[in-house]
Structure 1
């Protein structure tokens, strides 16, 4: 039995007088009376349907049929198979009513037929849905065969043209991101960490903080941020420079265990001026056995206990700086020297106990030091001899010197060691052939007898400081000019050596072409030394690049230096030799002009002739195309220093013309100042000379006095006419 479809609308019957539906007003049928038997069965059959479409009848039903009596519709589809397959947009069985019929002659109700088939003899009637509202009267094509509109095509093209969103940073490999961030400074990395979470994670990755150097930002970074950097770096940190980080003292003390548990691969470690506690320093030194560079200078909390820990755990140590650590003594340094076989640099300024020979003897046995700084200590001549010769060395009778292997020292700092004399410094001769830097400033008892042998036996000496050696004479400078190190010496300090003068310094300026810094204030040198220095610097050549500072001279408080010597320096800095100057172009140009007939007749020339006219055109010379390679930066008397500095700035930027103008004006000013004198009588004499020069310049012939004041021009006294004008 088929299911009941409550939305099937009864087919309207043909007009019939016997039927109540044949009235003009189309009165709806009334409910049939309750019947029994066969009529009841037939009445039930009209309510069943297996298809939403029924075959429309084109003629009225016979009056003899029993179906028409009750006004019921016939379900022909339920009794016979239809050859029509319904076509619907949504496939709903409740929207179609009717079948394949011939189009009626009389027009039906509006909207009763929706479309014809291809042959024009079939109709599909859309039936209104009283529940969901009116349905569409058109059937849409499937999406796959539907033609696209222009707007739709443009939208599709826009969708295709729009690039796909690509997460650049999210899909980037971590290694490449690390490489990009490695080019930024620490300050820039910290700023970038606030951009997003991914950047924050990258900026605090340990691989990016293998070097934590707070030299540039130690006063700006707070302790929490600095601790975060250290903890983020962790085992990746190799260089840890906390110089001057006083804000880290409390954090380091409270979290020393956490820090040392993470940072165990540090190679270079510096705590200079950070004021760390003793326990925190000991804990860090004990857990970092790969340390090669340790800088603890200026810390009162560093004691011999720290030296003991270094000697026990840091066997790869190469550089140790404990200068100004007042609680460290020579006994602690001795343990380090014994336990560290590759120690090359030892900086122990102001450490007490060098008057004993134990540490110098151990250093002599090791012979690994290349840099030794024991300035401002109590080292004596005996200790220095043990450091150079050892204890009871073998003595060469002919040369009267110890036969020992030469020392590897390259830097030796002994300044302000007041107990040293010539006897101890002489031991340096023939024993330090690789010496590059020698500082003996402040050793007031030294004389030429100890300085000359040392200078003659150090062929690679570059830096020499002999400040405040009052007993030093010009003999030492003469020997320096003749020594093997003369071509290499760059830094010379002889300040406050009051016995030095021009004979010695002139030879040094001539024989030392590599000089870069000469400090000779408070000596007896004069303007001759400055002039010789200017000449030697000019000999270094010229090129097209702007000048560079090649020699710095400090010569204030020298009574024999005057403004004339200073002017020689200024003039030499802006001097260009004649062969490098660009000659001015030809100043005479010939211009041919055609003169018309009337003017030619006035001038007395032939008709139609052209007269050449020669005119003069003076063109200023172009700026120089070459500059000196090196110039001198001078520090002199404070009243002249401002002019010297301004002149140097102009030369360094390549404006030699402006520098020459400044030098000329300063020269005129100094001449006028000297002529003025104290009483002012020179001023009147200077004004009188100026008036005389103006009168001589403006005077013309005897008959035309002071013609120049009235705008006239001086005439040639030869009486002939000017060939050019």
Structure 2
């Protein structure tokens, strides 16, 4: 035996440890570890301590524990962290109300020149700190998100920071729609939109989400000074009727994305807008109550669409869809949501997908009980470039299906025809779908032939457990989800999606 060779191999085995990895490799590994656990890793040794506290790992920091962020006991501890760990590299920070204090904001302003994204959460505030001593605020922010309180007025705070907001390109004002009960009548204007717009002339994206006091007068104020506006999102702002949209379109010539999900838009105002002169090509009218006449009037006057969401628009009909196809409105379409549109027939949807399915990256056709196995086996072949797809109908007394859906053939059709699929949601419940012991073979096919699949959502039940175990055996443990906790959307296909993200 060659003892020299054996000794060399033994030496290599002993030297191949984690500690022998280059620092940049360890740093890359540490980047996947939650910041909450980096403190524990830092106790291992001096080398790991230096790496765990490397500023590259602390460019994005959240101090909101309820959103999986870090918890600090006092603002003195946070000031120490800013000085020791974050200072020159911090780009994004989230602060709860109790940490929004003059000393902390001073430190962020003076010590963090790279800070561009900030979230200030006042949603659970009982009272604010005294901001009379606030003399500095980060003045190079690109994006600011403020989570509003229902009753805490922010004008005292805002008055101290208005002069520092001129660099803002993205503004999120997040309301309390999800916390508000229907019986509440008192609505307070807790932040002054008019004063904000006077100091933010460079806004490109404005997201006003679920704010109970927002109405058309606020939109009118906002758009009078924001001529660079490209995206306006007013989802769940129920007091918005559309009276300001005429001036919005006339003033904001760059506006291309208008998101109006669950707003109170009315026919008379929507009809008066000069849509034919607009640049809008991404539109969301989900859960609005516009009439068929109004939908036809609006949708046929907009030059073209790349993104269109009409979920729960019961007056969107075969006639309107046919006229839009004939007018070439869908030639550049990338994503469409037609979920729960009772006015659309199976035949109209089939013809539409036959013509435009190959160009689609996103399609939502849930909540339509007549679209079962036979329909999908025929149309999936048209969806060669689909990335996101939602289909099926959760069972209910008014949507109950009389036949079983053979899920294996649907899964096989996606595996054979949709290699770019990244998110798939099938809403049929266990009482509706039919599968067998051979189903695992078809699950194998979609797992292997759709390598980009990162979310596969199913109703909880025996089939869900089978699919989940299949993917977990292949070490793809985070792919399979249940409709109970996760809902798939095509909103990620909006051009400014990254700027619309908050929380």
TM-score, normalised on structure 1? 0.47
Partner of 1:352: 213
3-state SS of 2:445 partner: coil
2:403 to 563, 566, 582: 563
Equivalent residue for 2:442, pick from 651, 660, 666: 651
- SS in structure 2 opposite 1:236? coil
Q: Which residue of 2 aligns with 1:498?
A: 342
1:134-191 Cα deviation digits (max 9, x unpaired): xxxxxxxxxxxxxxxxxxxxxxxxxxxx9xxxxxxxxx9xxx9578536523356333
Q: Is the 8 A contact 2:411 2:443 kept in 1?
A: no
What is the match of residue 363 of structure 2?
517
Cα distance, 1:180–1:550 mapped onto 2, change above 3 Å = closer
Q: Does 1:291 align with 2:141?
A: yes
2:38 counterpart of 1:189: yes
Q: In the alignment, which residue of structure 2 is the partner of 1:312?
A: 163
Equivalent residue for 1:686? none
Q: Are the aligned partners of 2:166 and 2:200 in contact in 1 as well (CA < 8 Å)?
A: yes
CA drift at 1:373: 1.7
Matches of 2:320 and 2:46, distance apart in 1: 68
State how far apart, in whole Å, the 1-side matches of 2:102 and 2:83 are.
14
From 307, 317, 320, the counterpart of 1:476: 320
Q: TM-score, normalised by structure 2?
A: 0.65
Q: Which residue of 2 aligns with 1:411?
A: 257
Partner of residue 450 from structure 1, selected from 276, 295, 307: 295
Alignment of 1:55-454 (within 5 A): 181=27, 184-185=30-31, 186-187=35-36, 189-197=38-46, 199-201=48-50, 203-204=52-53, 206=55, 208-213=57-62, 219=68, 221-224=70-73, 227=78, 229-242=81-94, 250=98, 256=104, 259-260=107-108, 263-265=111-113, 266-272=115-121, 275=124, 278-279=128-129, 286-300=136-150, 301=152, 303-324=154-175, 328=189, 332-349=192-209, 350-356=211-217, 359-360=219-220, 363-364=223-224, 366-375=226-235, 376-389=237-250, 407-425=253-271, 427=273, 429-436=275-282, 438-451=283-296, 453-454=298-299
| Counterparts of 1:382 and 1:274, CA distance in 2 | 29
Structure-1 residue corresponding to 2:182: none
| Partner SS, residue 347 of structure 1 | strand
d(CA) in 2 for partners of 1:282, 1:439: 42
CA apart distance, 1:307: 3.7
User: What is the CA-CA distance between 1:320 and the residue it aligns to?
Assistant: 1.2
Preserved CA contact (<8 Å) 2:305 2:332: no
Task: Give secondary structure in 1 for the equivalent of 2:175.
Answer: coil
Instruction: Verify the 8 A CA contact 1:367 1:407 in the aligned structure 2.
Output: yes
Structure 1 residue aligned with 2:450 = none
Change (3 A) 1:220 1:322: closer
Decide whether aligned partners of structure 1 residues 449 and 430 sit closer, same or farther in structure 2, where only a CA change above 3 A counts: same
Q: Hey, what's the Cα distance between the residues in 1 that align with 2:239 and 2:436?
A: 42
Give the secondary structure class of the aligned counterpart of 2:215: coil
CA–CA separation in structure 1 for the residues paired with 2:438 and 2:259: 37
Map 1:11-50 → 2, pairs under 5 A? none
Counterpart-to-counterpart distance in 2, 1:269 and 1:501: 46
The CA RMSD measured in Å over matched residues stands at 4.4
Q: CA deviation at 1:201?
A: 4.7
1:634 aligns with 2:426: yes
Higher relative contact order, chain-length normalized (CA < 8 Å, sep 6+): 2
Aligned residues: 403
